[in-house]
Amino acid sequence: MKLINCPINGVRPVSEFVFGGELREMPDPDQCSDADWATYVHHRNGAPGLKKEWWYHAPSGTWFIAERNTMTEEIVRTYLFGQEEEK
Amino acid sequence: MQNTSIIQPSPITYGHIAEPSKIGSVHGMAVALKFGNGDEESKRRQLIGIADISCLSRFGVKGPNAVQWLRAHKVDLPEERNSWVATSSGAVVLRLGNSEFLIEDSPTSSLAPSLASDPPKMFGVYTVRRSDASLVLSGSRVQELLAEVCTLDLSEKALGKNAVVMTQVAGISATVLRQSLNGETVYRLWCDGTYGTYMWHTLVEIAEELGGGAVGLSSYFKELA
């Protein structure tokens, strides 16, 4: 069974979680170029490696960030959004 | 505003496998008070009893200032996240995560209606509408039932005395705690009311295979007999 450590609820089976997509920083639409904005809207980086992703613990309604190596399927760490430094 | 002349069905109403032998209205909701005769029911209950207690009043509140608002209303609060406390009147107060609370009354307490009558108006406190199906489970074989439907170990050794667990039971998001009710260890379970029929059906079917089954509300709360 694959396990994920929810920062609020602890270690749970992956069946309790929903993938929410890669954490991507949005450029300022008023300041960035059209090319940068188009890249943000349309392009995704599919190369395997260590990524920051949104995950959702469905039973408790907790959104959090997981740093996951998409090559090895290893979750390095998890934390609540904005609390990266505390972990 | 709630019209007290309307009797609502419980979220479990359409899930009953066997017809209850006694139905009563508690807090404006029609619920099963008894299944079969008393002897049959107490035999089932010794092995596994499952009762629908969705009729008990409940109130939900969340937000960064929810603690402050509840303290101002003199509600006893659990200090730790994912834990619960019982009030002196028998209501249970669950802390779900950091800043969300679920309060469920006993048949005789009235904490939830009193909080609902003075809804939060301050910044950072939000009322959460609760329409849960609420169940109570107990019996000598209840661990076997829970092991079949939940990946977490909910036995007394693993589940802390005041721990609240938000997990999946029979594939449905549910909140579970263990409580001593009238000297007996019972499990309380909440899930979304729309899944109530499914949850009830699934748990009662497994309980019947193990020799238990549905019991009425009055089997846990004698004051409603």
For B122-135, b/e burial (b = at least 16 CB within 10 A) is eeebbeeebebbbb
ipTM of the complex: 0.79
Confidence of residue B1 (pLDDT cuts 50, 70, 90): very low
Of the candidates B82, B167, B175, the beta carbon closest to that of A16 is on B167
Contact B186, B137 (CB under 8 A): yes
Domain that holds residue A44: 3-86
Number of domains in chain A: 1
Q: Which helix (H) or strand (E) holds A68?
A: strand A62-69
pLDDT of residue B12: 86
Contacts of B166 in chain A (CB under 8 A): 9, 57, 59-60
For residue B80, the chain A residue with the least C-alpha distance is A8
Contact B97 A60 (CB under 8 A): yes
Band of residue B96 on the pLDDT scale cut at 50, 70, 90: very high
Q: What is the CA radius of gyration of chain A?
A: 15
CATH number for A33: 3.30.2270.10
Closest-CA residue in chain A for B175?
A59
Complete domains list, chain B, with CATH? 19-55+132-217 (3.30.1360.120), 58-128 (3.30.70)
pLDDT along chain A (87 residues), means of 10: 93 95 94 96 93 96 96 95 79
**Closest to B97 (Cβ–Cβ): which among A8, A12, A13?**
A8
Contact by Cβ (8 Å): B49, B40 = no
Binary contact (B166, A13; C-beta < 8 A) = no
- List the structure tokens of B21: 């032998």
User: pTM for the full model?
Assistant: 0.88
